[in-house]
């Protein structure tokens, strides 16, 4: 039987800073009467011409095939979203995520008691900060090769100056990140996924996330892939993505 799902593409927010989004839900009979689990997907750093939410399209379709609705969006200045990437900051990423959450919360298809969040790389830091400010918004969280940044980095523009890069490349600057305390505020479980060949995120960052939620953590190492496997085109990265999809879906649908 061919799988049926529905995808909606639109814009969130106000004029001048509209965020491009894709919402996907299962194509179930009488679907307006059925509440589904909802997932917010947060992409990584990307760039002004880079790809944000489109990297999640295959993942969204996979989630929908397992009766999970999801919302992915481009942060300001990314993809087809409005705004200036060069002027944006980590604080703006958090503001954008809050806007997207509200849209997911307001969808009639989603069960607000079963909302989860998935953050990749920089999106992992944003996920932790989002939970820190709103610990009751999500029942579960998934961190994929999560970054962690100091408070000093959060109001530094990404470009054209090098202030952001200078701050995050200071030796062990991540150690003072508020992300570790924030992720610990989640009442539910956390899934930590990391690439075996990741050379971007220091293993010490992963250890700090692990220690923050030790009693509520599931951890999986995806073999043979690098940090940027979501955008890779070879067989190894495709296999890595399939592992991500299966493991994350299993975690999200598991009770407790």
- CATH number of the domain to which 174 belongs: 3.40.50.1820
- Total structural domains within the chain: 1
What are 255's two structure tokens? Answer: 């009770």
How confident is the model over 77-102, as a mean pLDDT?
93
Q: What is the pLDDT of residues 173-204, one digit of tens each?
A: 999 999 999 999 999 999 999 999 999 999 99
pLDDT recorded at residue 15: 60
CA-closest candidate to residue 79, choices 12, 128, 169, 152: 12
Are 62 and 245 contacting, i.e. CB atoms less than 8 angstroms apart? yes
In this structure, the number of other CB atoms found within 10 A of the CB of residue 37 comes to: 20
- The pLDDT of residue 1 is above 70: no
Which DSSP letter does residue 32 get?
G
Sign, CA dihedral 230-146-72-249, equals positive
pLDDT, greater one: 201 or 7: 201
> Looking at the predicted structure, is the pLDDT value of residue 154 above 60?
yes
Rg (CA), the chain: 17
CA dihedral 124, 125, 127, 128 (to 10 degrees): 120
pTM reported for the whole predicted model: 0.94
The range of the structural domain enclosing residue 181 comes to 5-253
Split at pLDDT 50, 70, 90, the class of 39 is very high
């Amino acid at each position: 039987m061919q799988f049926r799902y529905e995808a909606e593409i639109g814009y969130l927010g106000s004029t001048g800073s509209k965020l491009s989004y894709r919402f996907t839900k299962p194509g179930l009979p009488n679907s307006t009467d059925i509440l589904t689990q909802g997932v917010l997907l947060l992409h990584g750093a990307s760039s002004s011409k880079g790809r944000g939410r489109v990297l999640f399209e295959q993942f969204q379709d996979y989630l929908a095939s397992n009766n999970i609705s999801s919302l992915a969006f481009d942060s300001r200045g990314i993809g087809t979203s409005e705004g200036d990437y060069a002027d944006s900051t980590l604080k703006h990423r958090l503001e954008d995520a809050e806007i997207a959450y509200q849209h997911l919360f307001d969808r009639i298809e989603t069960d607000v008691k079963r909302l989860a969040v998935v953050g990749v790389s920089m999106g992992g830091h944003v996920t932790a900060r989002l939970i820190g400010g709103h610990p009751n918004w999500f029942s579960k969280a998934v961190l994929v090769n999560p970054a962690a940044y100091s408070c000093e980095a959060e109001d530094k523009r990404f470009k054209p100056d090098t202030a952001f890069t200078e701050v995050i490349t200071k030796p062990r600057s991540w150690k003072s990140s508020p992300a570790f305390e924030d992720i610990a505020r989640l009442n539910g479980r956390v899934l930590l996924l990391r690439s075996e060949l990741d050379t971007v995120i220091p293993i010490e960052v992963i250890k700090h996330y692990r220690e923050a939620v030790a009693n509520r953590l599931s951890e999986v190492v995806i073999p043979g892939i690098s940090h940027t496997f979501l955008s890779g085109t070879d067989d190894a990265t495709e296999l890595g993505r399939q592992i991500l999809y299966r493991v994350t879906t299993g975690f999200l649908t598991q009770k407790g």
